[in-house]
Amino acid sequence: MRLKHIKDAETKIYESEYVISEPLSYKGNWNSLFQNNNDIFLEIGMGKGDFIISLALANPNINYIGVEKYASVLLICTNKLKLMDKIQNLQLICFDAKYIDDIFDKEISRLYLNFSDPWPKNRHHSRRLSSEFFLKKYDSIFKNKNLIELKTDNDDLFNYSVESFKKYGYDIEKIDYNYDALYKTEYEKKFISKGINIKYVFVSKNK
Ligand code: SAH
């Protein structure tokens, strides 16, 4: 049942006008999919999409790309989008971010990591989206300056990420241990309703 469900999702997401089926072929050329050459902001692990949809609606002069590994999760987002007017500045990709440098080349202006999987076991830390493995990959996707915004409920992931950013040469622009964001993700709303503080960090690194 589960396999069938996933197989259906993998077909169905590509029925959406937002989902790009051959992301590798757009490397270095993502702005050709949008109506202008505005900055591209990327969210990795966008889940069901509330955050990136809200941002795209609020900021029509920025182009947004969302990456999500699982088709079954992305399908929930594309089903939401079906009920809405077309958002011109939004594109979605079903892709594993461990290969992110295969699909972007010096074209991203900002990266959002929201409530990424915490991978609590030490031996899995390199799978965290803020590990050195991923920070190396991100170096080649940013256009001018590297800018990353990270939000999480998880103290261990948060402290690890701040250290990982610093060790890799990022400067802390802003840090907040009880962040009240204007645009909230699905996980964020759930954690806030349980009274859990949201941790936020905004970091930058010159080329
Ligand atoms: N950002 C959303 C979802 C958080 S859960 C929110 O805050 O509500 C983390 C999401 O990241 C999951 O949907 C998971 O499938 C996705 N994800 C985890 N590892 C990923 C990877 N390597 N590449 C792309 N997406 C990934």
What does the pLDDT look like over 158-205, one tens digit per residue? 999 999 999 999 999 999 999 999 999 999 999 999 999 999 999 999
Spatial strand order in the sheet of 146-152: 90-94, 63-68, 40-44, 110-114, 146-152, 199-205, 171-176
User: Tens digits of per-residue pLDDT, 62-116?
Assistant: 999 999 999 999 999 999 999 999 999 999 999 999 999 999 999 999 999 999 9
Atom of ligand 1 nearest to the CA of 188: 7
Pocket test for ligand 1, best of 65, 125, 129 (most atoms within 8 A of CB): 129
Q: How far is the CA of 167 from the centre of ligand 1 (A)?
A: 24
Q: What is the pLDDT of residue 98?
A: 97
DSSP string of 174-200?
A: EEESS---SS--HHHHHHHHTTPPPEE
- DSSP H/E element including 159: helix 155-167
Whether residue 1 has pLDDT greater than 90: no
171 catalytic per annotation: no
Q: How far is the CA of 68 from the centre of ligand 1 (A)?
A: 6
pTM over 0.95: yes
Pocket test for ligand 1, best of 116, 158, 188 (most atoms within 8 A of CB): 116
164 or 1, higher pLDDT: 164
* Active-site option among 8, 96, 117, 180: 117
Whether residue 45 has pLDDT greater than 60: yes
What is the residue whose two structure tokens read 């241990």?
177
Please report which confidence band the pLDDT of residue 207 belongs to, taking 50, 70 and 90 as the band edges: confident
Whether residue 123 has pLDDT greater than 90: yes
Q: What percent of the chain has pLDDT over 70?
A: 97
* Averaged confidence pLDDT in the chain: 96
Q: Tell me which DSSP letter residue 31 carries.
A: G
Q: What is the pLDDT of residue 2?
A: 54
d(CA 72, CA 187) in angstroms, rounded, equals: 17
